Structure 1
Amino acid sequence: MLRKIHRWIGLALILPFALQGLTGLLLVVLPLLLAGRPAVPAPGSTTAPGISAEAMIAAARSAAPAGTQPLRFDPPRWPGDSAVVAFGPAGERHPEFEVMVDPAHAAILRTHIVPHILRVLHNLHADLLLLPYGQNATGVMGVLLSVMAITGLILWWPHPALWASGKWRRTITISPRARGYRLWRETHLSLGFWTFGIMLFLALSGTVLAFPFARPLFGVQGGDRPAHTRAHHADHTPAIPGEQGLDTAMAAVQAQMPDAILTSARLGARPAEQSFTIILPAYGPNRPATVRYDADADTVRFIRDPGQQRTGELTFMWLHTLHEAKLAGPAVIAGLWRTAVGLAGAALFFFSLSGGVMWVLRRRAAATRKARVAAVPDASGTPDRMQARHARSRGGNKG
């Protein structure tokens, strides 16, 4: 029964599972192929003070496409690093164009078009391009993929005699002599064993992230941007640039939170929409905080405080971070986890392929056996029986 459940779920969802695996793999690999920030000469003791953030954004505007506005400013991460100004249509959250700027001279070092294919792959992975029902469909697929992983483990589980003799190890390797159906089956089984843990985690976390009702269950509220700015699309350049007052706000953040590391400033159509992502030493880079500067009160207030996160919010945040392989550190662990997630995507694509191939090979073998049985004459019509019958007939005639 479990074998039939495992087989028919896989066959029914062979294409969606293959798309999930392939898009997941590409979303991990493609960002690694994009060019990083160019290095600049590290400032020396005699170097003049760096250019302000507003001046760098003003310089980057000259290279930005028409009809776009600054959406994000990333300051240099260390001495010798460049700054990044990201542009996109007004009201959008995802930039389409990036300008790398030398923080010492406000010179444009490089421009970069954010590949649109990344957004397409993300939407295909998240909702199969079936909005508004795609998220629920993806959630159901996550549940069924979890069932596939669990039933696959049960079907793989060796007999107690194999555990006692140690021969169970043969079930997690591929025999060099395997060919045809046996090769596909052994590869399917062994790869399933090695990727079971990460596959089950990604299936369960993907289920939580996909279902719209999961966020309220975990106590997760909306984003840190005002709701009206998300749907606002301006057709003209605002009278007051969204980056106005950015230098003052950044200085206030550094002064009031001296231990914090400013990693990014999110911009909008108005200065009031500015928000800042910072890393607090007590929580590390994987639990960043978001703050805003109130110019009237000259105070910095938290929008997202990692110290005030409830268990549900923290759990949801970690599920999201791990599912999308966006660990910020440590570098070794982040790299290993990213590799594991990418391999899991490749494995899911292979499971869909190998499951379909094995089903076709089984049906072909069954059809061949059936044809062979049909080609064999009936037992009463075999040559030996016919010869014996003829001999008895001749003996009766002689009598």
Structure 2
Amino acid sequence: MSAPRTERWYRAVWRWHFYAGLFCVPFVLWLSVTGALYLFKPQIEAALYAPYRNVASDPVLLPQTIAATAVGAVPGSVLHKYVLPESPHDAVQVLVGKGAKEVRVWVNPQTSAVLHQVAEEDRLMRVVFRLHGELLAGPWGSALVETAACWTIVMLLTGLFLWWPRGGSRLAGVLYPRLRKGRALFWRDIHAVTGLWVSLGALFLIASGLPWANAWGAYFREVRAVTGTIAGKQDWSAGSRADAAVRARADAGMRAMMSEHAEHHGMTMRHAAFPPAALDAVVARAETLHFAGPVEVSPPTAPGAPWQVRSQAENRPRRDSAEIAADGRLIGIQRFADRHWIDRAVGYGVAIHEGAWAGLPNQMVNLAVLIGLVLLCVSSVVLWWRRRPSGTLGAPKSLAPLRHSWALVALVMALAAAMPLFGLSLGLAVIAEAALARLVPCLGSWAGWRNVTKLAGKPAVD
């Protein structure tokens, strides 16, 4: 066992690593568990909706009849999306809606019987998605998750700094754990070595998930605008509230198209609903495109606008889209490869993040990273509990004052610019630490905010 580390920079980094971990551990555990569930969305939904496959034989009803049945099952609704079935014998899924709310209806394509219906946001994997990204708390939950994600990046980077071998360290305890050197070294090595092996994967999962976040997502949309990609439809969620606004606008447009009259610049103009045979023609044409399923067919939302056909494949690089006229004429196709490189990069990142890019191997690699993160959290709590001095939080004591470093300032500023909520929360944390240490000395001493000139508490094992 080597002597405890006492360098000021080491102690300062360890202190911020401790505080980052103190805040992040509950969120990392939560995100790891919910993320692991969402990884296996294809398998879970295949099991949940197995009763609605192979329910019909030939002949099957026309799409317009099936859609009308689904709309009739939810009074006051209109057609939002018609989902092409994987097999002509499967129940057809139709999304109908009223405003921002959508209901998914399963219709037997032979008998027109409604087999099942559920509010889209109440489906199990949609609930898991919102638990994972928003804690079921909307924008505030998203902001909290985003802040935790930013601090997790700091925790991982500072952890790698603390792990970095110095003074000719051997491979034991650096690349693999020492399992028979006592419990103190066992937990230290489990924490350090696990952190090494999962850090790269964890950093990728965090970075690829940030486009969904509110603050960073808005920041990223500004980058899309500057680089000329804003014209394309964003192919990832901007949060439940933003998604609801998009659904509400689409619903209003569809209702205007299907109503007898619609207002236009203060004048009443007559708009005919799309012809009853339009959905039949569009679906027939969409089936010839052979897009990766599931494929959604959406009605026009403005006069003269085409029908939209979009692949919603779990593997986003396989997502293509098309515009089709009401008579079934193909207007144009946009392939994934036609999108701007930023949107393609995000598409690949999201696909890997969700475990969809390479199927089961992708899922298992992501699951291994998430299990590693859980192990990091558990080992950190064990280390903290074993080392904390009685009657204190157990935070590492600083050896201030540290010499000023422009490199450190530049690094912090770069992180704050890249992750706005990190910068905001860091500023609040520094102000709170300084204020509370002065105003409530006993709290500052308990939390480790008061500078001391000697090491206090139990030393770290290195």
Question: Which residue, 137, 141, 148 being the options, matches 2:155?
Answer: 148
**1:89 to 1:188, Cα distance in 2 relative to 1, 3 A:** farther
For each residue in 1:165-194, what CA deviation from the matched residue of structure 2 results, as whole angstroms up to 9, or x when unmatched?
Answer: x5457x534626754x55543332343233
- Greater shift, 149-158 or 3-12, is seen at 149-158
Shift of 1:334: 1.4
- What TM-score do you get using the length of structure 1 for normalisation? 0.68
Looking at structure 2, the residues matched to 167 and 285 of structure 1 have their Cα atoms a distance apart, in angstroms, of 41
Structure 1 residues 290 and 15, CA gap change in structure 2 (3 angstroms): same
- Distance in 1 separating the partners of 2:220 and 2:163: 32
Within 5 Å, give how 1:166-177 maps onto structure 2.
Answer: 167=172, 171-173=175-177, 175=179
Bigger radius of gyration among the two: 1
1:324 pairs with 2:354:
yes
Tell me the amino acid that sits aligned with residue 280 of structure 2: D
Partner of 2:200: 197
Amino acid at match of 2:338: Q
1:55–1:106: 8 Å Cα contact kept in structure 2? no
1:195-215 alpha-carbon deviations (Å, 9 max, x no partner): 222101012222344211112
Q: Which residue in the other structure is 1:185 paired with?
A: 188
User: How do residues 1-399 of structure 1 correspond to structure 2 at under 5 angstroms?
Assistant: 1=10, 2-29=13-40, 32-34=43-45, 35-37=48-50, 38-40=52-54, 48-60=58-70, 64-66=73-75, 68-78=77-87, 82-92=90-100, 95-99=102-106, 101=108, 103=109, 105-106=110-111, 108=113, 110-111=115-116, 113=118, 115-116=122-123, 118-128=125-135, 131-132=138-139, 134-159=141-166, 161-163=168-170, 167=172, 171-173=175-177, 175=179, 179=183, 181-210=184-213, 211=216, 212-218=218-224, 219-220=229-230, 221-223=232-234, 230-231=248-249, 245-254=278-287, 257=289, 263-267=294-298, 274-278=307-311, 286-295=317-326, 298-302=329-333, 304-327=334-357, 333-364=358-389
8 Å contact kept, 2:39–2:355: yes
Distance 1:54 1:27, change over 3 A: same
Gaps of 5+ in 1: 328-332, 368-399
Deviation at 1:269, TM superposition (A): 8.7
RMSD value over aligned CA atoms? 4.2
AA at the equivalent of 2:81? R
Contact 2:299 2:308 in 1 (8 A): no
Could you tell me whether the CA contact under 8 Å between 2:27 and 2:145 is conserved in 1?
Answer: no
SS for the counterpart of 1:319 is helix
Mind listing any 5+ residue stretches in structure 2 that lack a counterpart?
1-9, 236-242, 260-272, 393-462
Give the structure-2-normalised TM-score.
0.60
Aligned-pair identity in percent equals 20
Task: Please list the CA deviations of residues 331-387 of structure 1 after superposition, one character each: whole Å capped at 9, or x if unmatched.
Answer: xx31121233334334434433432332122115798xxxxxxxxxxxxxxxxxxxx
SS in 2 for 1:13: helix
Q: Distance in 2 between matches of 1:188 and 1:168?
A: 10
- The letter for the 2-side match of 1:326 is A
